[in-house]
Amino acid sequence: MNILVVLVPAALLLGLAGLAAFMWALRANQFDDVEGSAHRILSDDDLRFSDRHNEHK
């Protein structure tokens, strides 16, 4: 049973990591446009503006 002393806190730490990830996502406005993000992953047009920056350099 002594293994619990290690395992249970380990499980808790993993849960805390998940919570921290959620908090980060919330702060970084990841949930602002749930609908749009679902479609954005299919297009590679996010390169549009970065391309332009390279031209200017």
Q: Which residues bind another protein (CB under 8 A)?
A: 1, 4-5, 8, 11-12, 15-16, 18-19, 22-23, 26, 31-36, 38-40, 43, 45, 48-49, 52
Nearest approach in angstroms of CB 52 to another protein is: 7
Q: What are phi and psi for residue 42, nearest 5 degrees?
A: -85, -15
Nearest approach in angstroms of CB 18 to another protein is: 7
Q: What is the distance of C-alpha 43 from the center of its chain?
A: 19
Which of residues 52 and 57 has its CB atom nearest to another protein in the complex? 52
Cα(11)–Cα(5) distance, rounded to whole angstroms?
11
Cα(30)–Cα(46) distance, rounded to whole angstroms?
16
